[in-house]
Each structure stands twice: as C-alpha cells, then as structure tokens.
Chains A and B, each alone.
Chain A
C-alpha cells in the first residue's frame, strides 16, 4: 500500500512499520545536499577509485565498468569521491550555484 503525507492515521501502519523490503530507493535523500559534486568527464580516466567509496551508491557504474554521471536523487554531497579522485575530475560546488 502506498503511504504518503496525505495518508490518514487509520491507514498508516502502526509505529511507522514498513512491511516490505528493499524500499530504501523510495526515500530520495539527495535533497539533503548542500554541496554538489560535478563530474568532469574529460578529466576522468575511469580509474574506478570513486564509486567504491560512495556511501550512498550514487555513482552509477555501467556494464562496461565505466562510471556515469552522479545520481543526484541520492547523492548527499559528502565529497569523499572528490577527495579520492587523483585527476581532479570531480569538483565540489555550492548547491544552487551554477
């Protein structure tokens, strides 16, 4: 059953229990972000150091093993990826600044 902020009390599960598994993806935590990593693909050597350290699994990896652009639905902007990148291919910017 879909539950959202309009669901009345008598239709909510008790104590907020969640009776299904694997639903963390439904909770988009990307809007917690205050700084945003920018992927500079021209500088990226596809070394593969960034995505294993992402705590939110927000760096998608394609079938060929290369990374793609950030998944901003889940990236919280912690900046660990930018720290580990040896090639300056990830730049942190203030959220909202273009």
Chain B
C-alpha cells in the first residue's frame, strides 16, 4: 500500500532523496530550490539518512563535489535553480563528459537579469545541449516519481549520463498537493545499490579520470556521449514500465491528453500542462476538439515519436508553448526541436510558437484558450502571419 501524503514539490524532491539515501549530497541554497538541501540536511541531522552532506561555498563547488564523489564510486545528488545552475555551468559539462550519473533536482527559475526569482525555463534551456538527461514534471507527484526513476536510468551501463529532474519554481516547488509515496523499503529495492564498474577508490584498479583529450580523441568521446543519449531512450522506457508495475503510474516520453481525435494541439512542459488540461476539458465540453502533448523527456528528445503523435490525420494546427525565450529572432527551444523533428520526419502541420510565462508571469486558462482560438483561425485561413508569438506580454 502506498502512503497518501500532502507535500510541496520541494518536500517531494527531498523525500525522494531521503528514500534514495545517496552517499553524498553537495548543495548550495538558492531560491526556489533552497528547501531541498534544507530539508535534506535535517534528515542528515536526525540520522534518517547515511548521507555525507557537504555544505559547499558555491554551486560550482556543489557540482565539483558531486563529480568527485561520483568518480570516487559513490552516489551523489544535488539541487539548484537558475543562477546556481549558471554557476555550475563549467562543471555541468565535466559531469556529463566524464560519464558520471549524478542526479540533480532542478527547480526551474528565470536566469537573471534583471533579477527575478520566479519560474520560467531559461535555466534548463541553457543546459539543453550539455549532455544531461532532462525529465520535466507537471506536479509534485511527477517530480517525486521522476527522481525515483533517475538513478536506474542514469547509472545503466548503456547510459552513464547525469540526469536532472525539473519542476516549476514556486508553482510546483512551493504548492502543497496530494501525493502518493512509496514505502522506504520499496524505494530501496527499486533504486538498488550503486555498483560502478570503474571508480577511483577501488584500490585493486588504480585509474585516471578526465585526462587531456586532444584532436585525436575528443570527437570520439563526444560521439560516445551522443550514443549514450540515444541508448537512454530505451532505458527510460524500460524503467518507466517497471515503475508502472510497482506504482500503477504510467510515464511515457510525453503525455498525450485527449489526443485520440484532437484537431487543435498545444505542446508544453511542466506545470502549465495542468492549466492546459483544464482548458482542454472546458473546450471539449463546448465541442471543440482540443488536445495536449506534455513533454516529459526533453533530453533525449523523442523527435520521431513526437512528430508521429503531432501529425495524426485529425491534427489541424499546433501551438508550442515555450517558457523561455531563445532571443534568436526565430523561436523558442521547444518549438525549434519540434519543428525540426516534424520536418526531418516529413510531417507538415501548421505550427506556431508562443513564448509565455517569463519571469513567473501567471498564465491563465483564458490565455491558453486564446491560443486554441488562434489555432482554429489558422485552420480556417490557412495562413500564419508570424509563427514566433508571445502570450501575455504587454506590447
């Protein structure tokens, strides 16, 4: 029997970490993820975990300590947000290129400046090409579940890549919702022990990690990372199938909400999916065939699968919602990923982009409804004046 609780997103993440009981947690407080290391340090003080908690002096050091710990042969975790992730930037790439399966809880927040502590996805989008697996979570339950699956994916011998579980700052991290938790024992059994094949503290096998890698080798090592990212797709699916058996909760690469006969489709990530589902239900009650695709697995990107889902015969127009502006005069990151996936897979459906919710700006169901109205107009006129649009900005 699972345990019914009510927790905030940060509490859910900290609870997952408690049940995972990693060897090392190194973290530095930053809004809105501060509570995660705060709660976790309480678990350490209370003797509820065996973890070595390293209270580092910066996020650069937090990721460095995780890299050292993971290379030494232990399981390391951290949590951060926005500018904390920015300060980790250098080490983010080191972690993935050294193939260290570190797990991070990223509580999404706008990267300054101007200074803003509220939610958007600019922090995550900044590291989308860094070689980390990225899972997005609609609510506290998904943030918890994704974390429980994280080590099984990251540490798999065909993968060996670090992984971040994203949730929306404040909207998810500080909202208390119902949640179903697994028993500690079940989590322990599901996550399993970390048994790396090669590690620095193995006195029987002295090794060197991170040597100089010049023109003759770096290309091949990057190719290996790319291959590992492709391998991750199958592992993510397998682990999700096992997780479903354990919990009854099903996790695909992306969630398709009322997509069986959807004509007008919105694509988004994280908490906005909740508002969008509410809107879809409202529109459905008025006879409008609205649908939603919520991307859970952003890296690796499910290009082929998403192109397939979005190009069913019933689909007439698509809007991709980006909670981060790429400032590139072309479109947001998710929009570009999806449009290139569609093009490469020879799928052509009218598609537009909306940058929304920047800096924690509330996005209401009425605004999402206006997107669906735009999609109906596009279908009628078959014209897209400007595919790179904004939702809720004053202009």
- The interface of chain A, by Cβ under 8 A from chain B, is 4-5, 7-10, 12, 14-21
Contact = CB atoms under 8 A, between A and B. Distances in A.
Contact of A16 (B205, B210, B223, B228): B210
A20 B224 contact: no
B329 interface: no
Contacts of A20: 206-207
A7 B220 CA distance: 9
B250 interface: no
B44 interface: no
Contact of B217 (A10, A16, A21): A16
B204 to A, nearest CB: 11
Contacts of B221: 9, 12, 14-16
Contacts of A19: 198, 205, 207
B209 interface: yes
25 contacts: A4-B216, A5-B217, A7-B220, A9-B220, A9-B223, A9-B224, A9-B227, A12-B221, A12-B224, A14-B160, A14-B224, A14-B228, A15-B97, A15-B221, A16-B210, A16-B213, A16-B221, A17-B98, A18-B207, A18-B211, A19-B205, A19-B207, A20-B206, A21-B206, A21-B208
Interface of B: 97-99, 160, 198, 205-211, 213, 216-217, 220-221, 223-224, 227-228
Nearest to B160: A14
B216 A5 contact: yes
B71 to A, nearest CB: 9
Contacts of B99: 14-15
Contacts of A16: 210-211, 213, 217, 221
A18 B220 contact: no
Nearest to B205: A19
A17 B207 contact: yes
A17 B209 contact: yes
A75 B270 CA distance: 57
Contacts of B213: 16
A21 B211 CA distance: 13
Q: Which of B205, B208, B209 has the most CB of A within 10 A?
A: B208
A43 to B, nearest CB: 37
B196 to A, nearest CB: 11
Closest 7 CB pairs of A and B: A21-B206, A5-B216, A9-B220, A18-B208, A15-B98, A14-B99, A15-B99
A17 to B, nearest CB: 6
A12 B98 contact: no
Contacts of A12: 217, 220-221, 224
A14 B227 CA distance: 11
Pick from B98, B205, B217, B223 the residue with the most CB of A within 10 Å: B217
B205 A8 contact: no
Nearest to B228: A14
A14 B97 CA distance: 8
Contacts of B209: 15, 17
B224 A17 contact: no
A16 B217 CA distance: 8
Given A9-B227, A15-B99, A17-B209, 9 more contacts: A5-B216, A9-B223, A12-B221, A15-B221, A17-B211, A18-B211, A20-B206, A20-B207, A21-B207
Contact of B198 (A4, A7, A9, A17): A17
A20 B198 CA distance: 11
A8 B224 CA distance: 10
Given A9-B223, A9-B224, A15 B216 contact: no
B206 A15 contact: no
Given A5-B216, A12-B221, A17 B97 contact: no
B78 to A, nearest CB: 20
Contacts of A10: 224
Contacts of B210: 15-16
